[in-house]
Amino acid sequence: MGIIILLISISLVIAVGFLLSFLWSMKSGQFDDTYSPSVRMLFEDKPEPEHQPEPESQPESANDEKK
């Protein structure tokens, strides 16, 4: 009997803890954008190359073409 009350109070405290952490995460905006963070973590910074690859051939069409 006593043990049930103890267990219930422990479980309630834990559950309330999770509820509060959810409310906090909501408040801090973690659910505002669910897409960008998922791809952001996959981006990597490439090391700067030693030499800049220069475009070799010049454009064939004339540059003064206007739309």
Partner 1 sequence: MTTSVAESVVCFHCGEPCEDITWLSDKPFCCEGCKTVFEILSANNLCTYYQLDGQAGTSLKNARTGSYAYLDAPEVRQKLLSFDSPDLSRIMFHVPAVHCISCIWLLENLRKLNPGVIKAEVSFGLKTVAIAFDPRQVKLSELASLLAAVGYAPVIALDDGQDTVTKSASGRTLVYKLAIAGFCFGNIMLFSFPEYLGLDQHDGSLKSIFSWLNLALSVPVFFYSASEYFVSAFRSFRQKQINIDVPIAAGLVALFLRSTFDILSGTGPGYLDSFTGLVFFLLIGRWFQGKTYESLAFDRDFKSYFPLAVNRLVDHVWKPAIIYDLKKGDILKIRNMEIVPADSILKDHDALFDYSFVTGEAKPIKIKKGERVYAGGRLIGQPATLTVEKITSQSHLTSLWNNETFRKTEERQYQKIIDRSARKFTWIVIALANVTAGVWYVLAPHQMWLVLTSVLMVACPCALALAAPFTFGSMLRVFGKHGLYLKNADVIERLAAIDAVVFDKTGTVTYGREPVVEFTGDLTGLEREAIKILTAASTHPLSMIISRSIHAAHTHDLSNFKERPGKGVQGVIAGKFIKVGSAEFVGFYEKLDPQASVVFVSVDEEVRGYFTITVKIRPQLKNMLARLGKKCVALLSGDNNADKASMQKVFQPFVTLLFNQDPHDKLAFIQNLQQDGKKVMMVGDGLNDSGALKQSNVGLAISDDSGIFTPACDGILDGTQLNNLDKFLDLARYSSIILKIAFSISFFYNAIALSFAVTGHLTPLVAAILMPVSSISVVGFSTLAVNFVARRKLVRALT
Q: By C-beta, is 10 or 22 nearer to partner 1? A: 22
Residue 22: C-alpha distances to residues 4, 11, 32, 38 (Å)? 27, 17, 13, 19
Tokens of 1: 């009997």
Comparing CB distances to partner 1, the nearer of 10 and 12 is: 12
Q: Taking the chain, what is the end-to-end CA distance rounded to the nearest angstrom?
A: 84
Task: Compute the least distance from the CB of residue 61 to partner 1, in Å.
Answer: 5
Question: Residues binding partner 1: what is the number (CB under 8 A)?
Answer: 38
What is the footprint of partner 1 within residues 33-52 (CB under 8 A)?
33-36, 39-40, 43, 46, 48-49, 52
